[in-house]
């Protein structure tokens, strides 16, 4: 990344708006297409998809694209290739917990699951802010915690919708093979 790249509050909030618009559409479609019984069947596929998705996503984005410009300021160098699989496992465990919460809500289980991704995004980014993600990397200095948490919420809702979609497709394919 060029040293001159600067992430501003405006960029973060515009990104949040774009994710929010996509989330509204994505969550509405998933709510229509996936029933609670489907979500129950998807349990382990969802856990595995989330582990792989976040390991790959964080492995490619964090460890390859943004390590030098952002993450090296808040993590030791030995953690560069350990964090993605660790987060993949951690995020899939969080997904399993929120799956469990969601299946206990009868009418809005899909919405609850997707929105819990936003909550997880906020929690993980609060920890990142605490570690100095907005204070140490020159690219992020001056960014507001509110703007960073806002984009994180909508970004993670989107990621959880993607994981849910992939898991539903895999579940449908495996059900077809069994017939």
pLDDT tens per residue, range 73-122? 999 999 999 999 999 999 999 999 999 999 999 889 999 999 999 999 99
CA–CA gap between residue 66 and residue 4 (Å, rounded): 14
159: in domain: yes
In this structure, are residues 58 and 90 in contact, taking their beta carbons and an 8 Å threshold? no
- Report how far Cα 101 is from the mean position of its chain's Cα atoms: 17
Domain count across the chain? 1
Q: Is residue 145 part of a domain?
A: yes
What is the rounded average pLDDT for all residues in the chain?
94
Residue 74 lies in a domain: yes
Query: Cα angle at 118 between 112 and 123, to 5 degrees?
Result: 120
Using the predicted structure, report yes or no on whether residue 130 has a pLDDT greater than 70.
yes
Confidence of residue 178 (pLDDT cuts 50, 70, 90): confident
The answer, yes or no, to whether residue 4 has pLDDT greater than 80, is no
pLDDT-derived band at 5, boundaries 50, 70, 90: confident
Residue 4 lies in a domain: no
Confidence bin at 177 (pLDDT 50/70/90) = confident
Over residues 23-53, the pLDDT tens digits come to 999 999 999 999 999 999 999 999 999 999 9
Assess if residue 2 is contained within a domain.
no
> How sure is the predictor about 71, in pLDDT bands with cuts at 50, 70 and 90?
very high
Q: Domain for residue 163, yes or no? A: yes
Q: Report the predicted TM-score, pTM, of the whole model to 2 decimal places.
A: 0.93
Q: How confident is the model at residue 1 (pLDDT cuts 50, 70, 90)?
A: low
pLDDT tier for residue 3 given thresholds of 50, 70 and 90: low
C-alpha distances in Å from residue 152, one per residue of 24, 29, 108, 115? 15, 21, 22, 12
pLDDT at 89 (0 to 100): 96
* Enclosing domain of residue 100: 9-178
The DSSP call for residue 137 is S
Asked if residue 122 is part of any domain, the answer here is: yes
In a domain, 43, yes or no: yes
């Amino acid at each position: 990344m060029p040293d001159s790249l600067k992430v501003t509050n405006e960029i973060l909030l515009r990104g949040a708006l774009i994710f929010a618009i996509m989330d509204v559409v994505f969550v509405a479609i998933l709510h229509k297409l996936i029933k609670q019984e489907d979500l129950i069947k998807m349990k382990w596929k969802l856990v595995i998809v989330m582990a792989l998705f976040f390991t790959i996503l964080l492995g490619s984005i964090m460890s390859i694209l943004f390590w030098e410009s952002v993450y090296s300021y808040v993590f030791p160098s030995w953690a560069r290739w350990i964090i993605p699989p660790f987060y993949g496992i951690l995020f899939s465990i969080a997904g399993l917990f929120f799956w469990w919460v969601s299946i206990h809500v009868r009418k809005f289980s899909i919405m609850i699951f997707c929105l819990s991704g936003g909550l997880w995004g906020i929690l993980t980014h609060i920890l990142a802010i605490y570690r100095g993600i907005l204070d140490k990397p020159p690219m992020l200095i001056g960014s507001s915690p509110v703007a960073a948490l806002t984009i994180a919420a909508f970004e993670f809702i989107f990621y959880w919708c993607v994981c849910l979609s992939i898991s539903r497709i895999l579940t449908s394919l495996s059900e077809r093979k069994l017939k």
